[in-house]
Amino acid sequence: MQCWTTRHVMLRCSSHVDESVLNRGISTSSSSLFSFAQTIPNHLQTALHIMKLSLLGPTALAVSTANAALISGDNNPGYIKYTTVQGYFLQDEPSTNATTFNYTTTNFGLINRTYPATEGLCADLTQWQLFSRQVEALNAAAPLNTVYKTIFMGRHGEGYHNAAESYYGTPAWNCYWAQLTGNGSATWEDAKLTSLGVLQAEIAHNFWKHQIEVQKIPYPQSYYTSPLARCLATANVTFAGLDLPVYYPFRPTLKEFLREGISIHTCDHRSNLSTIAQSYPYYTLDPSLTEVDELWNGVTAEDDTAHEKRMLALLDDVFTNDDHTWISFTSHSGTIATLLSVLGHQPFRLSTGAIIPVLIKAEFLPASHAPKVQDGAFTTSTWCHNAPPITSSKDVEQGCVCSKTGLRCRV
């Protein structure tokens, strides 16, 4: 396997590399290689530099890799353009009804079809084995600045906050109950899974087991999870105990940016890092995580634009630092919806415990190609302070119609 990586970008990592593709950058003279490098961002020039040094031997490559961060120029990281590659999954199709869709009865939604990479193949392969070869072929034939990854995005199982919203109704939940830590019978601050939520994660576990054994689905090579309790538990129930290869173990990395949209709801208030580490000692803690949750304050909430920028930052982090092709995210309804949006995927709302795979094309481009985006913001939210709302109305903020003494804007 040939693999050239830097901390910023994977140029090629495939066991089935098209030599004619690689020859565009390797078999040329030094002058033509560096002439080509002048047209791409600094971090891609670094990768090409390392690729060239790899031809000179392991010592030169080791020195270059060790200094990649210094050479690349972190002040000009370039821009990554993300695209959902359509035509492979039912969830990509406008005709698919997200409300009634069941990933466990549809082979994760993978469409039964032939692929250019497998035409004429006589081997008796499953649809997932065929799709895996197609993804390998896409990466092998891609330009040096392009990579394809498949991400399985799983929503956590039902949490106590989900059950409370169903019980009280969305207006009463948003306007009053969600700002409390519980109701005396249940606690939903950094909500844990209900018994139904655990069952939904067990269903996901059993389905993954079936897919691995029968469909020969590619193993996830990397696992990432939101640091909120409901996701930590869902990931653990889903993947722990599966017959995974020793080289792709289930050791998920906690990503702060994979958490739900930051609101004033206590269910979105993360537990202290030491508490998480004690409960899940084999989980990897991302260096960006702080002991105390510094993003949630119970006063201000993240707007849609801020959430979108956070998702792009998350994708940039994963695509520039993880050279694996098959990746698992365990996250939340709002965050997965926002991820799908920035990836250009059609809206596809997941029920609790559901999973959606997405084939993603990432193109590493000069910073000048980046579209202009608005700055996100955190704003205060209005809610009924003393009691649940009297009624609800679509004409007022969050649908809250509070008593005269109960309306309070948290500042």
351-365 pLDDT per residue, tens: 999 999 999 999 999
Reported as a pLDDT band with limits 50, 70 and 90, residue 382 is confident
Query: Could you tell me the pLDDT band of residue 389, with boundaries at 50, 70 and 90?
Result: confident
pLDDT for the residue numbered 121: 81
Domain 79-158+193-369 has CATH 3.40.50.1240: yes
d(CA 162, CA 157): 9
Which tens digits make up the pLDDT trace of 17-38?
Answer: 333 333 333 233 333 333 333 3
| Backbone phi and psi for residue 24, each to the nearest 5 degrees, phi listed first | -65, -30
Confidence of residue 312 (pLDDT cuts 50, 70, 90): very high
Cα 134–Cα 135–Cα 137 angle in degrees, nearest 5: 65
Q: Which of 177, 162, 90, 143 is nearest to 356 (CA)?
A: 90
What is the per-residue pLDDT for 395? 63
DSSP 185-237: S-B-TTPPB-HHHHHHHHHHHHHHHHIIIII-PPPPSEEEE-SSHHHHHHHHH
Active-site amino acid positions: 156, 260
What is the domain partition of the chain in residue ranges?
A: 79-158+193-369
